[in-house]
Each structure stands twice: as C-alpha cells, then as structure tokens.
A and B are shown apart, each in its own frame.
Chain A
Amino acid sequence: MIRYANPARFMDLSGAILPWLAAAAAALLAAGLYLGLFVAPGDYQQGDTVRIMFVHVPAAWTAMMAYALMAAASLVGLVWRHPLADVAAKTAAPLGALFTALGLVTGSLWGRPMWGAWWVWDGRLTSFLLLLFLYLGYIALWNAFEEETRAARAAAILALVGAVNLPVIEFSVQWWTTLHQGESIVRKGGPLISAVFLWPLFAMALGYTLLFFSLWMLRMRTEILDRRARSLMLAGET
C-alpha cells in the first residue's frame, strides 16, 4: 500500500485503472436497471414500490462505505501525516454527501406509499440524517481554514468522532422500534428476500460502489493536479 501511496504513483496507477472501473460501473448499472425494472416482478405486499429498493439500498450502503473510507483515510492522514490520505478523505466527502442525500430522498419516496409518511423520527432515519450533517460539517470545516494542513487535521478529527454514527445506523433497526425494515439481506441464516430481487440489488449495489470509486479516483486526481498548480504558482511568486 505504502509503495503506491505517493501522488506520482497514484496518478499512474489510477490513470490505468479508471477507464476499466468506470466501464464496469456503467455495465453493472445498466444490468441492474434492466433486471430491476423489467425482470423483477412487483412484490406481493409492496407492489411496484419494491423497485425503489434497487436505488435506495445501494445509495445507503455506498454512503456508509464512503464514510468508513473517509474516516480511515483521515486516521492515516492524522497519524502518518500522509498528504495523499488527506486528499483521499477530502475528495470522498462530497460524494458521500450525495449518496447520503440520495438514500434519504429515495427512502422518503418509498416511505410515503408504504408507511404513509415521507419522514419519521426513528433511529434509522435520524442517524442517517446525522450522516448527511456530518458530511456537510466535514466539508464546511475544510473550507473554514486558510491553511491546508490545519484544515485537514480539524476535518479528520470530525470524521473520526463522527464514525461512531456508523454502527448506530447499522444497528438502529435492532435497538429501537421502527417502521424501517430490519436486516433482510446480510444476516445470519441468509437473505430473506428472493433471488429475483437479490440479483438486481447486487448489480446496482456493486455498480454504485464502483461508480463511487471511479468518481473518487477522478476527484483525487483533480485535487492532486490542483495542488501541483498551486505550488507552481507559489514558486512563481517568490
């Protein structure tokens, strides 16, 4: 890992991987959309609203994975002061915020016909809303400091403190009474939903994940180029 963790190597490696990653993401999303909209039947209880699952669950999973990655990168940045780790954490945040917002909006659009409410203040929804605020707070902290290293440190501490929210989201459906569906996919004894729903869900989930990694890499590359440009400009001024 450390061998690849310098910006020049990262640029080489990510430049080679990125087109394949983006193509795989597009293919999986296309397959997932086809399976989810045309092959999967309506659910016997939920009717066609069950299809919202294929855009809701992958967004929520990706949002949480993005936060875990952002927190891990923040830790590496804090402990080893590695500049690439700061770039990784910083560029993950807006993407994580987007996937979180998508999880909230699609969940709301699913909740209204099935629960009769756009929103309820239960453990799962509230902790997931907190995830959005953590991302937004993290982005705001980065922008609040002039000096990059101080901004990185402050933001990293927020990211690590906020990581406590991840297990809260995960176990919220067990800890508190809720309208939200409990664990039905990753659980002891296997998934509770049938294969005709699982395939589109997995295709979409993997597609969302690979799309996140593609966009993350692209944004990291952009940030590295920007930093080079800034240091060139500083060198030109002196």
Chain B
Amino acid sequence: MSAFWAMGGYAAYVWPAYGVSLLSLAGASWLAWRGYRRARARLAALEGSKPR
C-alpha cells in the first residue's frame, strides 16, 4: 500500500494532479447544483407572491 502512495517516487506530481482535478470537478458540481436550487427557490417565491 505504501508503494501505491509513493507512485514510484512521483507522488509529489501524481497526487496533486489527481487532487486538484477531482476537487475542482466536485466543487464545480456542487456550485452548479447550489446555483440551480437557489434559482428554483427564487422563482418559486416570485411566482408564489404574485399568482397569475
């Protein structure tokens, strides 16, 4: 297992590459989802306050 984490001596390059990729993609997904929920709530509030 420690050989796995060592990445043949290239741990300092391999893990940051994976880390930054996965963290940013996860972060972007979370932001997009949060933005969507907020937009939906905002619109629902607007439509609720002024029924057509």
Of the stretches A42-50, A64-72, A175-183, the one at the interface is A42-50
Which residues of B lie under 8 Å from residue A51 when comparing CB positions? 7, 14, 18
Q: Which among B17, B35, B46 is the interface contact of A110 at CB below 8 angstroms?
A: B17
Residues of B at under 8 Å CB distance from A?
4, 7-10, 13-14, 16-18, 20-21, 24-25, 28-29, 32-33, 35-36, 39-40, 42-43, 46-47, 50
Query: SS class of chain B's interface: helix, strand, loop or mixed?
Result: helix
Q: Which among B13, B25, B42, B46 is the interface contact of A49 at CB below 8 angstroms?
A: B13
Whether B20 contacts A106 by the Cβ 8 Å rule is yes
Residues of A at under 8 Å CB distance from B?
33, 37, 42, 47-49, 51-52, 55-56, 59, 95, 98, 101-102, 105-106, 109-110, 112-113, 211, 214-215, 218-219, 221-222, 225-226, 228-229, 232-233, 236
Question: How many Å lie between the Cα of A227 and that of B41 in the bound state?
Answer: 13
A168 to chain B, nearest CB (A): 25
Whether B17 contacts A222 by the Cβ 8 Å rule is no
Question: How many Å lie between the Cα of A23 and that of B20 in the bound state?
Answer: 22
Whether B47 contacts A232 by the Cβ 8 Å rule is yes
Whether A95 contacts B50 by the Cβ 8 Å rule is no
A52-B14, A106-B20 known; 15 new pairs, CB 8 Å cut-off, are A48-B14, A49-B7, A49-B13, A98-B24, A102-B20, A102-B25, A105-B20, A218-B32, A222-B36, A225-B39, A225-B43, A226-B42, A229-B39, A233-B46, A236-B46
Whether B13 contacts A221 by the Cβ 8 Å rule is no
Question: How many Å lie between the Cα of A73 and that of B37 in the bound state?
Answer: 25
A selection of 22 A-B contacts at a CB cut-off of 8 Å is A47-B9, A48-B9, A49-B14, A55-B17, A55-B18, A55-B21, A102-B20, A102-B24, A106-B21, A112-B13, A211-B25, A211-B29, A218-B32, A219-B32, A222-B36, A222-B39, A225-B36, A225-B43, A226-B39, A229-B43, A232-B43, A232-B46
Question: How many Å lie between the Cα of A52 and that of B14 in the bound state?
Answer: 6
